[in-house]
Each structure stands twice: as structure tokens, then as C-alpha cells.
Amino acid sequence: MPSKKVVKDDKSKPKFKFIDLFAGIGGFHLAMESVGGECVFASEIDKFARQTYQTNFERKSPELFSSGMFNEDINKIAPKDIPDFDCLCAGFPCQPFSYAGQKKGFEDKTRGTLFFNIKEILKEKKPRMFFLENVKGLVSHKGGETVATILDILENELGYHVFSTVLSSLDFGLPQKRERWYCVGFRKDVNFEFPKPLNKKAVLRDIVDIDNNDPTLKLTQFELDRIKYHFDHAKDEVRVKHDNSKYKPNTKKGKYGIYSFQKADGSLRFHVGDHAKTQIQEAFYSCLDTYASTIIANRTPKLWDLGRKLSVRESLRLQGFPESFKMPVSDMQAFKQLGNSVSVPVLKAIARQMLKALEGGK
């Protein structure tokens, strides 16, 4: 059974134990460890992400790896074989939920998805709390049916007191507008409140190495040329029209053209569309004095004023990872891992509120 008491007096002992599902490179691990947690089980299917995770946590938590509790596939371990723990953490992938079955029960709606693994572990182990993260789009997926199913399971079938919201990393000291759905739950009724946004907004200048001239980070000549074209013509046109003759006439770019527009915050946007109506955002370039677009697996933020994309180290800072964090993989894998990762300061702020609520009760 989960441990029954939060240890407060002996700082050498963990306050609670947690498991790290769909662990990626360890954002949850860093956050929960920062508030006194000990990781007793972790699971990550991507071999390169596992390499990064182990490189950064093996020295401090050797027993996690020596005991075989660093799992490669959550589907290959029975929930009963996972060590007892107090908190389940999971930034689970948002796979489409299957409604193909004839039955209307919770199990039928979630079977075949990775949330099903979370449900079964919570059902078997009954930890005191859980902490989930997902994309903002989960809230509107299938017209809200998906998130309603998840909350129904957590509250009505599993009996947790559940709190959920969407928060932006931009409000927690990171120069990135990364909006994510966060959900926490407790087995007892508690006074929980999500953390309030910080007063100060960060900008990319806070994390960027201005003198980094790594040629591999440089924007393509095509991008540099059209950025220059924008500023050469911006005085005459609010929304600058670019040459679309290189695009096939039957494509959206060929039919509607490419337009660029600089927002008040300094960011530069390229759109497919006519002069009056924007249709599709084609590119987003930040600058030093504003925030970055959301870093995702196949897109690294770019700065028009530096003429380059962010480096791996700068991308680590963009997600709130410490300077000591190591990336023992190729840059391609590193950018992918960071795009799939979580924003550590947001998780830390929520984790502090979770412990506060748990210790205070209601």
C-alpha cells in the first residue's frame, strides 16, 4: 500500500515516493525531486530519451536503475508489480480515444490508449495523489468528450478529488507561450489551488547566448532573404506581400500569396492569405525582446534579429532545465526530446501547491 505518512522532520528522507510514466527526459522527475520526492519507478519507450534520463538521474538515484525499475514499455509490466508510491506522474501522449466498441463503459472508451495504463495503475495501487499533463487541445478533443471521459474515470470510477486547468509557461518565468492542460487529484478532499502567474514576463534575451555564432544554427538563405525583404518594405506596407511566383498556381501559397507582418511585441509572422484576411500561419520568428513560439518535436524556435534558431542549451533553458542537465544525444534527438518535454518551473509550482494542500487537508 502507499506510504501512510509524509515525512517532514528528517530532511535525509523523502517526503513522498512517486512514479514517472511516459517519463521523457525527466521533467517530472526534476520537479517532484525538488519538493522532496523520491522516484521509485519510471517508464519511457524511446531509447534515446531513456539515455538522456539515465545520464542525468543514475548518479543520484542508482537504485532506480539497478533494481530494474526503469521500464522500457509500460504495457509489459503488471500494475501490481510496480513498487508502492504516493504520487503518479504522467505527461501521457494524447492518443485518440476509441469509441468503436458497442459498450459504453469507461473501460471500453479508454482501452487501447495510454491513459488506460494510468487508470489501471491508479485502480491497483490507489496512491494518495496523481499529477497529469497533456496538450491544451485535449480539452477540445472530440468536442470535449475525451477530457470528460478522463475526468469521469478519475472522479467517479476511481474516487479522486480532481482539479484541472490550462496554464502557460509564459506565466512562470519561461519566455515561451506553451499552454498545457494540467490535472491533479487526491484521495482525500483538500484545499488545492493551482499556482498564480508570476508578475514578471521573461523574454528570450534572458536565456540566449548573444555571441553564439554556431553555423549549424543559422537560418537558411531563403529565410534570411525574406526577412530582409520584409524590413526593406515594411515602411511602405503594413502587411508586406512577398513574391509568390515560385509556388505552383494551384497551391494555397501560389493562389493567395505570402504576407509578412510584425506584431507589436516584435515577433515576425509569415502567413498564407490575401491582404485583408489571414488564412494560415506559415512561419513565426521571435526576437530577443519577446517570447518564443511553443517548442515542439519538429520545430525549434527561431529569432529573426539573430538570424538563427535556438541552440540545444538555450532550448533547455526555454523548458526550465538546469544548466547542469546533460544531453548525451545528437542535436536532432535533443531538439525532439525537448519539444516533447514539459516545462519544469510550471511543474515545480504545481507540485508545491500539491504538497501544501496534502499537508494542510481540509
C-beta separation of 130 from 100 below 8 A: no
**pLDDT at position 110, please?**
53
**pLDDT at position 250, please?**
86
Residues 6+ apart with CB under 8 A from 93: 22, 114
**pLDDT at position 9, please?**
45
**Sheet bearing 161-168, strands edge to edge:** 70-71, 37-43, 16-21, 87-90, 129-135, 179-186, 161-168
Give me the phi and psi of 195, to 5 degrees please: -65, 150
**pLDDT at position 277, please?**
56
What are the catalytic residues? 94
Number of alpha carbons in the 13 Å side-chain half-sphere of residue 94: 18
Give the angle subtended at the CA of 341 by the CAs of 320 and 191, to the nearest 5°.
75
58-89: per-residue pLDDT in tens? Answer: 999 999 999 999 999 999 999 999 999 999 99
Other C-beta atoms lying within 10 Å of the C-beta of residue 225: 12
Q: Which of 195, 188, 155 is nearest to 86 (CA)?
A: 188
Looking at the DSSP bridge assignments, the partners of residue 42 are: 20, 70
Q: Sign of the C-alpha dihedral, residues 65, 89, 114, 46?
A: negative
In which residue ranges of the chain is CATH 3.40.50.150 found? 16-198+339-360
Would you give per-residue pLDDT tens digits along the chain (362 residues)? Answer: 444 444 444 556 889 999 999 999 999 999 999 999 999 999 999 999 999 999 999 999 999 999 999 999 999 999 999 999 999 999 987 655 444 333 343 455 555 578 889 999 999 999 999 999 999 988 888 888 889 999 999 999 999 999 999 999 999 999 999 999 999 999 999 999 999 999 888 999 999 999 999 999 999 999 999 999 999 999 887 889 888 887 888 888 888 888 899 999 999 999 988 655 555 778 999 999 999 989 988 889 999 999 999 999 999 999 999 999 999 999 999 999 999 999 999 999 999 999 999 988 55
What the block records as the C-alpha cell of 197 is 502567474
Distance from C-alpha of 132 to C-alpha of 134, rounded to nearest angstrom: 7
C-beta separation of 344 from 27 below 8 A: yes
**pLDDT at position 112, please?**
55
Distance from C-alpha of 30 to C-alpha of 210, rounded to nearest angstrom: 28
What the block records as the C-alpha cell of 342 is 514539459
Distance from C-alpha of 243 to C-alpha of 129, rounded to nearest angstrom: 56
pTM to 2 decimal places: 0.89
Q: Under CATH, domain 16-198+339-360 is a member of which superfamily?
A: Vaccinia Virus protein VP39 (3.40.50.150)
**pLDDT at position 251, please?**
85
Give me the phi and psi of 163, to 5 degrees please: -130, 135
Q: Strand, helix or coil at 78?
A: coil
**pLDDT at position 140, please?**
87
Give me the phi and psi of 224, to 5 degrees please: -60, -40
